Structure 1
Amino acid sequence: MRQQIERWRALKDLDDWLRAPMLMLSLAWLALIVIDLTGETSPLLGNLAVVIWIIFIAEFVIRFVLAPRKRAFLKRNWLTLIALIVPALRLFRALAILRAARGLRLIRIVTTANRSMRALQATLRRRQFGYVTALTGLVIALGAAGMLNFEPASEVEGGFAGYWDALWWTAMLLTTIGSQFWPVTTEGRVLALLLSIYGLAVLGYLTATIASFFIGRDAEDHDAPVAGAAELAELKAEVAALRRAIESSRATPPG
């Protein structure tokens, strides 16, 4: 039991120590994935991606060794494990298995978004609005790169002519405005569906945040149509004072 506690403590200390470096590496990895999906990569950037990937593997192995419960650790980090395996499967490109390669690119996009999400969540744990804003920006950037890769104008009629075109379309999709173009490929449709689900979730969060803001302002306003928190506090104080007065009068002997 004591050994497990020490392992959990060591794992927590490691996570705290690596939080900022892993966030920077996760953002760099996401940028490299975006560049690779848009077809603008270079041997130098490819080597940098390999180095970051090896660092991710080493970090995962160390955390796995320190974890007291291996099965629970793998169950909680299975998507991260897939994110580490997928880059090694890029050999499928050399085998000219196009459909498998496109499916792997879709998995790569999802797992990259998951890694960035977890890194941001660990850093902006107490700043929920900032976390959602930053994550939305990353999702738009990564989603646009994926849509350009799956739906290029050279292969799909009415597809995206460039990254900025895909970026605008992805932003419109997340704001539920949409456009006249809809994906044709299976991978593009799946990615568009995931982006739409995320957009609906963010829209619900923003609606709740704005409602909470105005409710909080009304709670501090004495002239609001509904009794606010300040008025309720004053009412509770008056009731408590009245209760003390009644108890005091009961304790006083008559005459």
Structure 2
Amino acid sequence: MPHLDPEKKQLQHERYQLLQQLTNWLETPMLVLGFGWLLLLGVELLWGLTPVLEMVGTSIWVIFILDFLLKLLLAPHKLRFLKRNIITLISLLVPALRLFRLARVFRAARAVRGLRLVKVVGSLNRGMKALAASFGRRGVGYVLGLTGVVLLMGAAGMYAFEKDVPDGLKTYPEALWWTAMLLTSMGSDYWPRTGEGQMLCFLLALYGFAVFGYFTATLATFFMGRDAENPQAEVAGADAVAALHEEVRQLRAELRQSRGLVNSASPPKPD
């Protein structure tokens, strides 16, 4: 790793501090815009956007672009910043195809669905960051909120991909029920027909598998904690363990004391 002189280190440190200050200052506005972006995406997938809503979405997208470029400019290590935000970068580039009329190249239905899939995944990634800023990454509230967003947006994506295929998901409530069954690992008889639907189904199944394990561990911890608080339960609680430690400590003290009395009472050995 090349050695940096003190001036460059100081410059990188100042830029990093400025980046952190900018992130903290823009956290609340970008949080609101992130949830607004998710809401607009859901409306687009289910019913389509009106010209007014499309203009609002474009304005939010431009703000996201400016925020990303400003943070990239201030980042001390730009390549590392791009690697950490590659999904965000791709999701920001997709709307440019529509804005600059480049979507004519992608008139095929499969290409349009592919662009929608990228937009759904990128928007879920942004929603995950917004929820992390709201609840904290390791809280139960964060996982519940993220699961709700994944359920609603995943169902909207599956409905958009599968509504035009034979025997597909014809209504949003049907897609919502199917997504809920998938996330709870119960499944259903329906299997996505489109490639984009299958890819989204795979991602939803991975998320459901991870979250199901998290909730199982949380519930197990909760019930074990309740059992530990019950003095008649088989699971030892913190108070019971502390009492056991105190008894062991007292027993050791008594053994040392009795050993000292025995040693003092025994006659000295003859020379």
TM-score, structure 2 as length reference: 0.85
Aligned partner of 1:31 in structure 2 is 39
Partner of 1:94: 104
Measure, in 1, the Cα distance between the counterparts of 2:42 and 2:90. 19
Q: Which residue of 2 aligns with 1:46?
A: 54
Aligned equivalents of 1:87, 1:211: Cα separation in 2: 44
How far apart are residue 204 of structure 1 and its match? 0.8
Counterpart of 1:199 in structure 2 is: 208
Q: Which amino acid aligns with 2:176?
A: L
By how many angstroms is 1:69 displaced?
1.1
Q: Decide which of 121, 138, 148 is 1:137's aligned counterpart.
A: 148
The partner residue of 1:236 within 240, 245, 253 is 245
Alignment-derived partner of residue 63 in structure 1: 71
AA in 2 matched with 1:112: S
| Alignment match, 2:115 | 104
What residue in structure 1 maps to residue 231 of structure 2? 222
Which of 126, 144, 157 is residue 115 of structure 1 equivalent to? Answer: 126
Please identify, of 10-19 and 40-49, the stretch whose mean Cα deviation from structure 2 is larger.
Answer: 10-19
Q: Percent identity?
A: 49
Letter in 2 for 1:72: R
Could you report, residue by residue, the CA deviation over 1:139-190 in whole angstroms, capped at 9, with x for unpaired residues? 11111111111111xx311112222222222122212222222211111111
Q: Is 1:15 matched up with 2:23?
A: yes
Report what 2:191 is aligned to: 182
Partner of 2:3: none
| Separation in 1, partners of 2:137, 2:118 | 29
- SS of the aligned residue for 2:130 comes to helix
Seen in structure 2, the aligned counterparts of structure 1 residues 222 and 39 have a Cα distance that, compared at 3 Å, is same
Rate the CA distance shift 1:168–1:226 in 2: closer, same or farther, 3 A.
Answer: closer
Task: State the distance in 1 between where 2:76 and 2:253 align.
Answer: 55
* Correspondences of 1:166-181 after superposition (within 5 Å): 166-181=175-190
Alignment pair present for 1:212 and 2:221:
yes
Q: Structure 1: how far apart are the matches of 2:84 and 2:144?
A: 25
Q: 1:12 to 1:59 in 2, by over 3 A?
A: same
Q: Is the 8 A contact 1:64 1:70 kept in 2?
A: yes
- Which digits, 9 at most, give the CA deviation of each residue in 1:79-128, with x for residues without a partner? 11111111112345333233222211111111111110111112211662
Q: Is the 8 A contact 1:169 1:178 kept in 2?
A: yes
CA 248–64 in structure 1, closer or farther in 2 if over 3 Å, else same: farther
Counting matched residue pairs gives: 253
Structure 1 gap ranges (5+):
none
Contact 2:224 2:235 in 1 (8 A): no
Matching residue's letter, 1:76: R
- Alpha-carbon separation, structure 1, partners of 2:243 and 2:192: 58
How far off its partner does 1:243 sit? 4.5
* Cα distance change of structure 1 residues 8 and 220 upon mapping to structure 2, 3 Å threshold: farther
TM-score computed with the length of structure 1 as normaliser? 0.90
